[in-house]
Amino acid sequence: MNEMTYLGVPEHVLPGLVRYVENGYEPGGFLRAVIVNDLADACRRADDLCGPALQDIVRFLYNVFPGGIWGHRNRYTGWLKRTQEEREAIFNSCPSWQDFMEWFNERGGE
């Protein structure tokens, strides 16, 4: 499969990351494991594209995600509990997230 990627993140993973950041939706098991920094669970749940791209996915979180919303279970659950207004204030003030969303939306988003 020849997918489009952003910083090496497989295309089919990007919508789940967007829904988590933009709407506070719980992602699937693999992304949840990556977001909470559970390497063993992420490796167990990875598909054939995500396994080899795991380092790129973590690099994406580090470089693109708004700060403080990943890396630990408490940050993950805290993000899910925020109101939409709170989430928007955070991700709208994150230039790296805005750059990614511009790229994502230019390609048709989901």
Domain count, the chain: 1
The DSSP call for residue 5 is: E
For residues 34 and 109, give the distance between their C-alpha atoms in angstroms, rounded to a whole number.
22
Q: Give the pLDDT confidence of 67-107 residue by residue, as tens digits.
A: 999 999 999 999 999 999 999 999 999 999 999 999 999 98
Does residue 104 fall inside a structural domain?
no
Does residue 103 fall inside a structural domain?
no
Res 1: pLDDT? 39
Does pTM surpass 0.85? yes
Quick one: what percent of the chain has pLDDT higher than 70? 95
Domain containing 68 equals 10-87
Does residue 106 fall inside a structural domain?
no
- What count of other Cβ atoms lies within 10 Å of the Cβ of residue 50? 20
Q: Are 42 and 30 in contact (CB under 8 A)?
A: yes
Does residue 3 fall inside a structural domain?
no
- Quote the tokens at residue 104: 């994502």
- What count of other Cβ atoms lies within 10 Å of the Cβ of residue 9? 23
Does residue 100 fall inside a structural domain?
no
- For the cut 50, the answer to whether the pLDDT of residue 2 exceeds it is no
For residues 104 and 15, give the distance between their C-alpha atoms in angstroms, rounded to a whole number.
9
Does residue 1 fall inside a structural domain?
no
Does residue 110 fall inside a structural domain?
no
